[in-house]
Amino acid sequence: MKTPRLLSLVALASLVGCASTPKPSPTPEAPAPEAPAPAAPAQTASTPPTEVPAVPLQQPKPLELVVLARPGTPIVTFRLVFHSGSIDDPKGKEGLTALTASLMAEGGTQKLTSAQLLETLFPMAAELDVATDKEFTTFSGRVHKDFLPRYLELFTDVLLAPRFDAAELERLRANAISDVENGLRSANDEGLGKVALDALLYEGHPYAHYTGGTVQGLKAITLDDVKAHAQRVFTQDRLVVGLAGAVDDALKDSLLSRLAGLPASGAPRVSLPTVPSTAGRAVIIQKQTLSTAVSMGYVNPVRRGDADFFPLAFALSHLGEHRQSIGLLFTELREKRGLNYGDYAYAEHFIEDPGTTYNRTNIARTQQDLTVWLRPVEPTHGMFATRGAVYYLEQLVNQPIPQERFDLMRGFLQGYSRLWEQTDPRRLGYAIDSLFYGTPNYLEQYRQALTKMTPQSVQEVLRRRLHPSALSFAFVTQDAKGLADALRASPPSPITYASDKSPELLEVDKSIVPFKLPVRADAVTIIPAQSFMEK
């Protein structure tokens, strides 16, 4: 996944009349969720699927236009979403799509060098960003309507007339390699664990490699590769055009007219394979680090548009929305036991939208994954924390969410989901995603679904759709061998506390200490961090 690069250094707050993205609202004060009692005999749950087929996303028509006009604002928001991503990277040149997109957005145009492009955008206080994921690449921008004619030319020129400067390619290539070597491998244990889990769940699949590329793949890319790739994947038949804010017919016509200069079509879309179950596998990334990062999950056949998606999403939010202390895992593992900092759970792939606690838009995926993250955990507590997370996940299958807790979470999500659509870029992103998932008015559908859910109806879905036994695991830790031995032999992981704990908590611990993780002893692998995503 590629972090969007902001070309303008001026905050949007400097734009007249622009509503900058508010800081996330404080989590509502709420009673701590009651810890479930020790597991009762499990009810009969469904068997996890042995494979997840690739059910294609819906395909909008070429240059389909999505407009969310808001005459009261002086700001225009652009969002060009190409159904092209890292799955389009040729083997041996992993990172080509992200590097191509970066060179187009940041490397200048035929009329302007990279430096001149920045100098031109700066006095407009305008944005021009790009982000690449597995299946989608998004060029986005915002500008005050007073600068619209000039900005429109710049914004479209990065696609229609990119400079493709060799020196800029080398600069951006060096940045991309550094992102792998010095960012992913060295400075970001959470990100490293998530990418390692992707590679494990999707082994042999186009999703498997890091969106930003591999070291050797990036080194192999030539300027001719970049030029040819742009013609293959940034084409009209893969593009949805989004506009929001101060939009009129003249702008729509002008933008579509200019974008008609893109190639009409290019390479055939990648045909994604079925993903077989990787249940019970574990990969341990060994590196010099003081903590242990834990990521777990499985490829999930339930995605937006499925009748069971909203109840599943509700249950995972109950476990832990991103950085929300209302989550059950946050309360049980961090607040009560002091094991770590963050505990999060997601019914679909999560990438944080920079500057928020919300998921990015326009990262739709044909095959989704359900994941839980714990970070950072003291190494001596790594096994206990992992067992605890899976224990509470299993409770969702075995026991309905208590009514008081259920009502609390429903009220929280009714309000919190409105923050997900508080800006024009996010509203536009959701509207475009709905074209691919077939989910018009997605967030309003979610809120309506929440009003009809009950603890019993949610648990019925979880018994069919939530499969702790399907989990695979990725760890980032220093003592990889010690952790591997513990995963294989599965001895109890007793824990002591520096302060007194309630009898109820200690009783639950008696179930967590010997809890059997769904890890196969013959499926534990250690990978040195310095070799991960090398080629």
Give pLDDT tens digits for 237-286. 999 999 999 999 999 999 999 999 999 999 999 999 999 988 999 999 99
Contact 252, 135 (CB under 8 A): no
Query: Regarding predicted confidence, which is higher, 241 or 17?
Result: 241
CA dist 198 and 196 (Å) reads 5
Residues 277-531: name the CATH superfamily: Metalloenzyme, LuxS/M16 peptidase-like (3.30.830.10)
For residue 363, which of 349, 376, 378 has the smallest C-alpha distance?
349
Q: Give residue 532's Cα distance to chain centre.
A: 20
Contact 445, 271 (CB under 8 A): no
pTM for the whole structure? 0.90
Q: What's the average model confidence in pLDDT over 175-195?
A: 96
Looking at every residue in the chain, the average pLDDT score rounds to 92
pLDDT at 316 over 80: yes
pLDDT at 490 over 50: yes
CA dist 171 and 153 (Å) reads 25
CA dist 356 and 163 (Å) reads 33
Residue 20's pLDDT is 34
Task: Please work out, in degrees rounded to the nearest 5, the angle formed at the alpha carbon of residue 462 by the alpha carbons of 459 and 465.
Answer: 155
Checking DSSP bridges between strand 472-477 and strand 282-286, what pairing results, if any? parallel
- 136 token code pair: 């989608």
Contact 6, 129 (CB under 8 A): yes
Residue 450's pLDDT is 98
Question: In CATH terms, are 51-259 and 277-531 the same topology?
Answer: yes
Residues 51-259: name the CATH superfamily: Metalloenzyme, LuxS/M16 peptidase-like (3.30.830.10)
Q: Domain map of the chain by residue range?
A: 51-259, 277-531
Which residues make beta-bridge pairs with 245?
69, 76
pLDDT at 407 over 60: yes
